[in-house]
Amino acid sequence: MPNLKTIAVVDDDPIYIQALKNLFTSWKILNPVLFFENGKEVLDFIRVKEAPALPDILLLDLNMPVMNGWAFMENFAPIATQLNKNISIYLVTSSIWEEDSKRAEKNPHIKELIVKPILQKKFREILAG
């Protein structure tokens, strides 16, 4: 069995979450997927888990209640080096603001900003990378 990367999806939109679940099924994505409704939930999860239980890939929405994507990134930065695991973070957002794109490019913990919806080709690139 191949070594499957664990994916964490952080998004508060139930329609988007269901669409992703449907897409993962139709694309035959077998990777384990964790779902969180906001940045605080996933940050709390990351703080208490050991490296093997942490996600390999984090698909992070920007606009969420409780803790948005940017607030998550600010809180993640100080603990990132203590995790003993490199988490590949992708901002997946409907935002097309250039300032979000520039801010993402400057953040060393963010691999890429992807505008929703995520396409199968892009998702397979993320899994391969």
Determine the pLDDT at residue 28: 84
Half-sphere exposure at residue 23, Cβ-oriented, CA atoms within 13 angstroms: 15
**Residue bearing tokens 């208490």:** 48
pLDDT tens column, 81-109: 899 899 999 999 887 889 999 999 999 99
Quote the pTM value.
Answer: 0.92
CATH superfamily of 7-128: Response regulator (3.40.50.2300)
Q: How far apart are the C-alpha atoms of 99 and 24, rounded to whole Å?
A: 30
Would you say 89 and 55 are in contact if contact means Cβ atoms under 8 Å apart?
no
For the chain, which residues make up each domain, given as ranges?
Answer: 7-128
Q: How far apart are the C-alpha atoms of 31 and 6, rounded to whole Å?
A: 6
